[in-house]
Amino acid sequence: MTTPFDEFIDDVKKRRFHNHRLELHSDVVSRGILRDLINSCEGFRADLNAEKIRYWMNVVAPGDRGRKIDLFIGEPAADGASPDLEKVRIVIENKSVVTAHRNRTNRVDDLKKALESIHGVKKESIIVATILVGLAERFLNIPDQVKKRYKYQKAKFEKKVLPRLSSGDQSLWKEFNWAISMNRADDPKTTVAHFQKLPRRNPAYTHEVGYDYVLIAPVYIDNVNPPTLPRPNSLNIDIDREYQAMLEVICKAYMARWHL
């Protein structure tokens, strides 16, 4: 099957490199999950078509002005345009640890704060997290390093460098050896272990503070070789099975909470 994570990989191929600063993957993943929920969950689709609910992307989280919710699905406010934060039904948070695995602790903390924020407003809301975990041991840092070198030579970068990125051109490693970020071989497994510590709950126990589903998607991205969503992978994660299971959990919980 094709997942939103495959679509993210296609997006990286199109752009030629992964810009970890912009978190562009989040919008791609959010749109894909929304589409697949519409196609696979009848009650959800009916409510969306009847305009009982709407969706918004990058909504400011309740009680946290500096934090945004990647995908917010719920009832609109009285103005019909903005979301009613107290009538949220589904929240999707998308994170990634593709480059520097040392950032995993910050991403886990982000997800914990998002969870507490949403559950504090509406405990019945369905709360899901997706996390991209990079498998590459070295990563060519384009946005923070290489592009800065070409700050005043944009045309040269686009002509001489950009077409070579993610193409398999191994000479890039030597040419830009000062822009390489390194990870340890066991970093992906350690990162997954950190995210597996996130609180989770049985979807039937809405009073508990926990994610209804946490999905981890291994990706191989180094900005030199073509990016992939490896099947199989060293983390032994079946992304297709996990993604289908996530959709089923969301739909089942949605029907139980708003259609019984």
- Domains, the chain: 4-136+187-258 (3.40.91)
Report residue 47 as tokens. 């409510």
Q: What is the pLDDT of residue 214?
A: 98
Instruction: Check residue 64 and give its pLDDT.
Output: 63
At 260 the pLDDT is 83
What per-residue string of b and e applies to 113-123 under the rule 16 or more CB within 10 Å gives b? ebbebbbebbe
Report which of 143, 131, 246 is spatially closest to residue 188, judged by C-alpha positions.
Answer: 131
Residue 245: partners with Cβ closer than 8 Å, 6 or more residues away: 213
DSSP, residue by residue, 59-91 = EEPTT-TT-EEEEEEEEE-TTSSSEEEEEEEEE
The pLDDT value recorded for residue 3 is 98
Q: Indicate the pairing of strand 83-97 with strand 126-134.
A: parallel
CB atoms within 10 A of CB 195: 19
CA distance 176 to 247: 41
Per-residue pLDDT of the chain (260 residues; tens, 9 = 90+): 799 999 999 999 999 999 987 777 899 999 999 999 999 999 999 999 999 999 999 998 877 666 889 999 999 999 888 999 999 999 999 999 998 899 999 999 999 999 999 999 999 999 999 999 999 999 999 999 999 999 999 999 999 999 999 999 999 999 999 999 999 999 999 999 999 999 999 988 999 999 999 999 999 999 999 999 999 999 999 999 999 999 999 999 999 999 98
The closest of 16, 110, 24 to 69, measured between CA atoms, is 110
Please give the pLDDT value at position 245.
Answer: 98
First to last CA, the chain: 31
> Is 115 strand, coil or helix?
helix
Q: Tokens 């996130």 map to which residue? A: 198
CA-to-CA separations, 83 to 162, 200, 247, in angstroms, rounded: 39, 26, 23
